[in-house]
Amino acid sequence: MSQRYIRALTLVGALPWMIPLVGDDEETLRAIYDELDGVFLPGGADIDPANYGEPRHPRCDNSDSARDRAELLLVRWAQAEHKPVLGVCRGLQVMNLAMGGTLYQDLTDQMPGGIKHDYFPFGGRYARDYLAHEVQIAESSRLAEVFGAGPLKVNSMHHQGIRTLGSSLVATATAPDGLIEGIEGTDGSYLVGVQWHPEVLIDGSAPTRRLFRSFVEAAGEHRGSRFEVEGLRLE
């Protein structure tokens, strides 16, 4: 996992806790989860399409079933308990699947007429901070509070994306071809995902720092309310 994720979180006051892939041991994973104030989901490998009931497309790359299972569990627990969640790239896709959505396994093959999204930095062809295309940020959304409503230039390093949106989610950013690139929960809790890679842009973008800071602030508020409830129980 890129060290950039850790740096982006610590820069705004978080204390990251990397979680081992123990999804096959739910008791241990749950004990770890219970100590967290929020859940951050980074980018990474393709998600196994078996998680949404589809056969593997030839262009679906290697996946990590242990990571899939652990992250899906973490999102479902967090959503049920209103614990803050922020997802980046693959993280957005995991959030969508946890809420019952599906994915395009390869945008080039499965989304005819779509724009190019796979600006991967392989071989130095594209820089990771290359602003490849715009997304349109929806008004009255958490992303609009951070970036402002309207167009936003983003980097783009993915070949999969949201096909059908999961329940209890709303699209809050879309690419020019209609692909959903930002999602939020509809119940008022902090559940935010973006398809681009803000961790790469955080040094030169105050709004991007605000995105990470908004997550950390929400986690702090959740921590305070949790301790308040536990204190009442103890009394």
Domain harbouring 52, CATH code: 3.40.50.880
Query: Nearest 10 degrees: CA dihedral of 45, 47, 48, 52?
Result: 180
Q: Left (φ > 0), alpha (ψ -120 to 50) or beta: where does 89 sit?
A: left
End-to-end CA distance of the chain: 43
Lookup: tokens for 127: 């820089």
Residue-level pLDDT at 228: 62
Give pLDDT tens digits for 113-134. Answer: 999 999 999 888 899 999 999 9
Closest CA to 88 of 169, 181, 3, 210: 181
Q: Phi/psi of residue 188, each to 5°?
A: 90, -15
What does the alpha-carbon distance between residue 130 and residue 133 come to, in Å, rounded to a whole number? 9
pLDDT, position 234: 43
Residue 204 CA: distances (Å) to CA of 42, 62, 129, 183, 198: 20, 32, 10, 24, 10
Which structure tokens are listed for 181?
């690139």
Of 71, 117, 199, 222, which is the active-site residue?
A: 199
Residue 161 host element (H or E): strand 161-164
* Coil vs helix vs strand at 81: helix
Catalytic annotation on 199? yes
Residue 235 has a pLDDT of: 45
Q: How many domains in the chain? A: 1
**Strands 102-104 and 161-164, how do they pair?**
antiparallel
d(CA 39, CA 172): 20
What pLDDT does 230 receive? 57
89 is annotated as an active-site residue: yes
From 89, 133, 158, 222, active-site residue: 89
Active site residue 197: yes
Could you say which residues of the chain have pLDDT below 70?
1, 227-235
| 173 residue type, one letter | A
Helix axes 26-34, 65-81, angle to 10 degrees: 50
Backbone φ and ψ of 219, nearest 5°: -65, -40
**Domain assignment of residue 140, given as a range:** 3-234
Sign of CA dihedral 166, 120, 176, 146: positive
